[in-house]
Amino acid sequence: MRFLLLLLFSTALFAQEGVEVKKSKLLLLPASTVENSAAQQYGQLMRQAQQKNALNRDPQQVERLRDIARKLIPQSARFNANAAKWRWEVNLLSSKTVNAFCMPGGKIAFFTGIIDSLQLDDDEIATIMGHEIGHALLEHGRARMSEQVAKNVGISIAAAIFNLGQLSTEVLAQGANLAVSLPYARSQESDADLVGLELAARAGYDPRAAVSVWQKMSKFAQSAGKGQPPQFLSTHPANDTRIKQIEANLPKVMPLYEKAKP
Ligand SMILES: [Zn+2]
């Protein structure tokens, strides 16, 4: 039973300054399995985009995103030491879809739709990217893939551990899809917000931009009316509670921004 105890082991990260967040519990799948599967999915998605001539079509915008990522990524090790070894990627997809994500292992994508329709400035992009990176660092996708695989395979957690090698790639691929297409739990959203604030602040981006992002998001949702709700909003409710929580945490990260700002 020792391994089960290990699985249930969870740690709270206590930072001397900055935000406090929890790491995921019950991580059945090894990080490497999850990251390989996510990398495959991501590669497939990028190849499909390329075939549709929708991959990185605006070099200036791509460079802008990658520049922001280059500043955020070095700040990420304090939330997940393994992130230093990740093979990070940042790509821009031409699509009206209002969405952005970071898959397990640091595979980031932004859709032109989220940048254009919200007219995002660099600080705002940094807080969104930081939020998405936060999900990856706190291994929320890994937690969900683990749950899903255990469910799909229909076996006990203990049995799954011994049979991991036999899991079909389809099962894993399904899990990886779930890692970006379904809403996370409210508490995971809050923690990703907090990590996003701190990454942005430490990288020299104004964390107060998180407030304007969510205000824009909520306005955009209202103007979109009863039509198709923006994808990002279907997984990320932009409500007062969220904005208030961000505002309440700004004092923890503003000193970091003051030190880091250009
Ligand atoms: Zn989120």
Q: What average pLDDT does the segment 66-80 reach?
A: 97
Long-range contacts: 225-233, Cβ < 8 Å, 24+? 230/97, 230/98, 230/99, 230/113, 230/114, 230/117, 231/97, 231/98, 231/99, 232/98, 232/99, 232/100, 232/114, 233/98
From the list 124, 132, 139, 198, the catalytic residue is: 132
Q: For residue 119, give the nearest of 70, 189, 61 by alpha carbon.
A: 61
CA of residue 130 to ligand 1 center, whole Å: 10
Per-residue pLDDT at 176 = 55
Asked if residue 221 has pLDDT above 90, the reply is no
CA–CA distance, 54 with 8 (Å, rounded to integer) = 42
How sure is the predictor about 260, in pLDDT bands with cuts at 50, 70 and 90? Answer: very high
Annotated catalytic, 247? no
CA of residue 232 to ligand 1 center, whole Å: 8
Q: What average pLDDT does the segment 145-153 reach?
A: 72
Least confident of 87-91, 223-227, 244-248: 223-227
Per-residue pLDDT at 231 = 72
Asked if residue 102 has pLDDT above 90, the reply is yes
CA of residue 158 to ligand 1 center, whole Å: 30
Q: What average pLDDT does the segment 157-177 reach?
A: 52
106-123 pLDDT, tens digit each: 999 999 999 999 999 999
17-50 pLDDT, tens digit each: 788 888 776 677 888 888 988 898 899 889 988 9
Q: What average pLDDT does the segment 186-191 reach?
A: 92
CA–CA distance, 217 with 43 (Å, rounded to integer) = 29
CA–CA distance, 20 with 236 (Å, rounded to integer) = 21
Asked if residue 154 has pLDDT above 60, the reply is no
CA of residue 104 to ligand 1 center, whole Å: 13
Q: For residue 120, give the nearest of 94, 106, 99 by alpha carbon.
A: 99
Ligand 1 (single-atom ion) residues, CB below 5 Å:
189, 192
How sure is the predictor about 6, in pLDDT bands with cuts at 50, 70 and 90? Answer: very low
CA–CA distance, 75 with 197 (Å, rounded to integer) = 11
CA of residue 163 to ligand 1 center, whole Å: 31
Per-residue pLDDT at 148 = 75
Percent of the chain predicted with pLDDT > 70: 78
**Structure tokens of 23?**
């790491």
How many CA atoms are closer than 13 Å to the CA of 250, on its beta-carbon side?
Answer: 15
Q: What average pLDDT does the segment 91-97 reach?
A: 91
Mean pLDDT of the chain: 83
